[in-house]
Amino acid sequence: MAAVREGARIRLDYSAQSLWRVDRFIDELRREGTPYAAARTVLRGFGAYAGEVIVRQTGAEWWATGGDHWVRTPDGRLWDPVDEARRCFAGDGSLRLLCRDATTGRPPR
């Protein structure tokens, strides 16, 4: 993430507010026509970053199953921030809203 933070000049401080900037950056990648294959690693990193924001905000923990990584919040719900980053790139997701839902008790989208 340090390379992304430096290259894109995005302030990543593990706050929920920083996810708004991440969503905007992903949206910009999509609007520029960046191929998914070229963005895949960055999206995975942004998803992991969003997951860590949720972990720090809620006391959640990381779960790994079958090569996938999930975040399990203390109420037992599972969240997939890496997939949400992919959905964001496709124009149908938001890491900021995922974090909001995970921290306020809303059901996964």
Residues 36-60 have pLDDT tens digits of: 999 999 999 999 999 999 999 999 9
Residues 47-103 have pLDDT tens digits of: 999 999 999 999 999 999 888 999 999 999 999 999 999 999 999 999 999 999 999
Domain boundary assignment for the chain:
2-104
Confirm if 62 and 70 have CB atoms less than 8 A apart: yes
- pTM tops 0.85, yes or no: yes
Query: Given the structure tokens 């990381």, which residue do they identify?
Result: 62
Radius of gyration of the chain (CA): 13
